[in-house]
Amino acid sequence: MKTVLITGATSGIGKATAYELAKNKFRLIICGRRKQRLIAIEKELSTLTQVTSLCFDVRDQKAVDNCISNLPKDFQQVDILINNAGNAHGLDPVETGSIEDWDAMMDINVKGLLYVSKAIIPQMTLRSSGHIINIGSSAGKEVYPKGAVYCASKHAVVALTTGMRMDLNQYGIKVTAINPGLVETEFSKVRFKGGKQADMVYKGYKALQAEDIAEIIAFAISRPDHVNIADLLVFPSAQASSTMVKKEFN
């Protein structure tokens, strides 16, 4: 039974992925900041597979290291790392953007991914096996107005994924970037701080669902040893780019 560690597992893509992989009998380490949600998810998934939870903020490097270094014995060998934790804050031009929002995006989307990866990768290199999946975004493939900093953080995820794939190639470790377009989750509520703008993001078309991305992740990690899905961009059918979405209102 392979062990999978998922960050950002209390909602959205991370939570859906935990449920999808539990059905496929992977041993799970679910991570997140919201302890009560983690407890509830762990309890439910424990009926399907072996599961433990870690409560930490990926921005806190010491907490990341402490939690991962103290995993229960049966969970200490992580075969698959899914760097899913990420966020967006605001939709503003640089000249009026919030430094607090910028720090949150860079610290979680970039530095958090690095902290967790650095805590896990050494055991993979020792075994010369493993698979890392970084959840990026279509924003890592193109830049759109008022999204410069978020797009920069997701471009960094794509660059880090490519660099990690190169660095870890000698160890036979797979590295994958999965870059979703519009996915209907709590993402927009966080981005727009619960405002009316958040309610309109997914109106007038069928957005991707978290379960769609979870199924893609499950597919990627189930490929034969000689197959690595290096980089994948996925849109809902209504979306052609970050700024072009076909909406129909009655």
Question: Out of 141, 154, 174, 202, which one is annotated catalytic?
Answer: 154
What angle (nearest 5°) sits at the alpha carbon of residue 33, between those of residues 122 and 220?
50
Q: How far apart are CA 185 and CA 13, in angstroms?
A: 8
The encoded tokens of residue 195 equal 């405002």
86, 109 contact by CB (below 8 A): yes
124, 219 contact by CB (below 8 A): no
**Which whole-number Å values give the CA distances from 13 to 71, 87, 223, in the listed order?**
23, 12, 20
Q: How far apart are CA 68 and CA 76, in angstroms?
A: 8
Question: Out of 15, 115, 150, 174, which one is annotated catalytic?
Answer: 150
Does 150 participate in catalysis according to the annotation?
Answer: yes
**Alpha helices (H) in the chain, listed in sequence order:** 12-23, 35-45, 61-69, 99-106, 113-127, 148-168, 187-191, 196-200, 210-221
In angstroms and rounded to an integer, the radius of gyration of the C-alpha atoms of the chain is 18
Strand partners, 241: 244
Helix axes 61-69 and 113-127, enclosed angle (nearest 10): 30
Q: How far apart are CA 249 and CA 149, in angstroms?
A: 31
Does 15 participate in catalysis according to the annotation?
Answer: no
To which residue do tokens 């991570």 refer?
31
Catalytic residues: 150, 154
